[in-house]
Chain A
Amino acid sequence: MDILNQLLAGFATAATPANLMWAFIGCVIGTAVGVLPGIGPAVAVAMLLPITTKVEPTASMIFFAGIYYGAMYGGSTTSILLNTPGESGSMVTAMEGNKMAKSGRAGAALATAAIGSFVAGTIATVVVTFFAPLLADYAVRLGPPEYFLLMVLAFTTVSAVLGKSTLRGMTALFIGLALGLVGIDQISGQARYTAGVPELMDGIEVVLIAVGLFAVGEALYNVLYEGRTVETRNALSRVHMTRQEWRRSWPAWLRATGIGIPFGAIPAGGSEIPTFLSYATEKKLSKHPQEFGTSGAIEGVAGPEAANNAAITATLIPLLTLGIPTSNTTAILLGAFQNYGIQPGPQLFDRNAALVWALIASMYIGNVMLLILNLPLVGLWVKLLKIPKAYLYAGILIFATLGVYGMRQSAFDLVLLYAIGLLGVLMRRYDFPTAPVVVGMILGPLAEAQMRNALSIGEGRWTVFLERPMSLTLLLVVLAVLVLPRLARRRARAAAPAG
């Protein structure tokens, strides 16, 4: 009952006209950002981080969360109507959604994506509501050794497990950790890697890295390599589902929600794996397997889209209760909290209860807003796809400048932004994942502090990580995550010639 009371109080805060307005603007910007190719929620939140200096925390977190899940709704529109996915979680939706749109069923695909996102988002929000406080209660008991290993787990999964190449993932992670080293050491107060540049004393802003890698990098990549790429657009049909399409959609939504939530909730988030899993499940269970990959099966849109939204919503659980981000966007949301001097973690539910519950309540409200924004108004969003690419990317550069310069008022940062943009081009061209860089740079300093605190507890002995049952378990999980996929792959390879 306590949770329900808190939630009600949260609704009271979230439903004030000002906060409703922030949620609405967030959802609108989020949807737009999701629809526009070449710009994702991570960049959008990063570019708008300067507002944290003036807007009060509850309002801005509601705003950012609106952008975060708004982008998921918008992303599906682009992936169904264009042949390029708006954001990575929509990759699978693009496969079936495009096929459906090509055979004249774009409207049904858009409807099942939007309604599926709503169903999954709402169920996942209910899970966050009831599960996060429980986890927070438990997490209070974790000490520095456990925290350090949880962060190591997040590093490992984001760099070694999710990508195609462990080596490139690890390289990206250590580049991120190196960027995180710049500035004042949290524990000793010593300056590191500042090379006498005063701007570097405060460290490198996460805004700069995110905007550089994703916005400037994207614009530079586009001018270099994508100039001649012609995108084909599918025609929009009436947004409507037949009775039979409803019947085929809803089991897929529910199954996918079940698949998505656990993947988002463990500190090994990422929405790629659950979307692929959901796609495979639907393909296997479907009564119309011949439609997959040919005329487009509605289950193949409904499932992955719901899984994506469920996973994305559930990534807020490790962020809010443990302070551990597992994706680009949650890493930047963590940056937003830090700007307010708030450290997400188990104490968040005590110390900043009003903020957390208003945020959670706003997620229910936001999902309803987004359903309305995306179903009847989808035609409006599609118009955004008509913006010429040159204007789109050049415009993104203006917003990139705004975000980076607005944060610290330093022209030096703009030069650094260009350099990070070049890094982004290289990483995209040579297939290095970018999430480990962002997660590494924002989580690196926290992990370092936890490690040194843990070693202080152990009076300098590394065995401190082995002596506590919880930290030993986590250590074993990290090892399992590193070793098991390799063993499975080796086994598959050994079995392949025989079978």
Chain B
Amino acid sequence: MSNSPSTPPSHSSRSVLHQGLIGAGALLLAGLLAFGALGISSEAGYAGVGPNFLPWVVAAALLCCGVLLLREARSGGYRALEEGSGAGRGHWPGFAWVSAGLLLNALLITTLGFILSCALCFVLAVRGLRSAEGRLDLSPRAWLRDAAIGIAIAAPVYWMFTQLLAISLPGLTGTGWL
């Protein structure tokens, strides 16, 4: 991640660029809300304000927040900022593992079923978290062990929901057990 060209801060939460991007994000959100508000009717009834009133208020407020955040970022950084805890820089490979776990879970849950899909998410997330600790273990034994732990957590939860509480969760089979 790049920082301001002159003095790279030691901690990423102090980065002028990052703080500026967050301000820009607020502006973008304000823009999207305003764009969406154009399509909402202003049919007001007795109240004098319709369903499009609050959307406009929120869009305007976020616009102000975005501008002010940008100004703070450019003039010495956010005020009274407490640096996010932990390392000054992100560990992106670990982040990629966990993200893959979560997104694959979303993709596969209806086909693989809750237990297997969650176990996969668990295994991938453990890879990521371990790699963040500098202890990434890609041996087949570790994969198997973590998969077993993942299933051991997901399966009882699944059974409790499907069998005991009768809340439907997707399964690989229609039995309610897997």
Contact = CB atoms under 8 A, between A and B. Distances in A.
A411 B102 contact: no
Nearest to B117: A401
B65 A171 contact: yes
B129 A394 contact: yes
Given A389-B129, A394-B123, 9 more contacts: A54-B167, A167-B68, A175-B29, A190-B43, A192-B51, A228-B132, A229-B87, A398-B154, A455-B47
Main secondary structure, interface of B, reads helix
B69 A398 contact: no
B153 A51 contact: no
Contact of A171 (B26, B107, B167): B26
A226 B95 contact: no
Contact of B49 (A414, A421, A444, A455): A455
A219 B95 CA distance: 9
A226 B85 contact: yes
Nearest to A416: B106
Interface string A455-471: 11001110000000000
A261 to B, nearest CB: 29
A190 B114 CA distance: 35
B54 A417 contact: no
17 contacts: A50-B161, A54-B166, A164-B81, A175-B29, A178-B62, A187-B51, A223-B94, A223-B132, A227-B131, A394-B121, A401-B118, A402-B114, A414-B105, A428-B84, A456-B47, A460-B44, A460-B47
Q: From DSSP, what is the main secondary structure of chain A's interface residues?
A: helix
Contact of A426 (B22, B48, B109, B157): B22
Contacts of A178: 29, 33, 58, 62
A394 B125 contact: yes
A415 interface: yes
A431 B98 CA distance: 23
Contacts of B168: 409
Interface residues of B, number: 84
A394 B126 contact: yes
Interface string B34-66: 001000110111111111011100100110011
Which of B13, B72, B133 has the most chain A CB within a 10 Å cutoff? B133
Contact of B85 (A51, A193, A225, A456): A225
A164 to B, nearest CB: 4
A429 B12 contact: yes
Interface of B: 12-13, 18-19, 22, 26, 29, 33, 36, 40-41, 43-51, 53-55, 58, 61-62, 65-66, 68-69, 72, 78-87, 90-92, 94-95, 97-99, 101-103, 105-107, 109-110, 114, 117-118, 121-123, 125-126, 128-134, 149-150, 153-154, 157, 161, 165-170
Given A178-B62, A219-B125, A395-B122, A411 B106 contact: yes
Nearest to B83: A431
A448 interface: yes
A453 B84 CA distance: 42
Contacts of B19: 430
Contact of B95 (A224, A393, A402, A431): A224
Contacts of A185: 51
Contact of B169 (A54, A168, A170, A406): A406
A448 B49 CA distance: 10
Nearest to A229: B86
A190 B41 contact: yes
A189 to B, nearest CB: 9
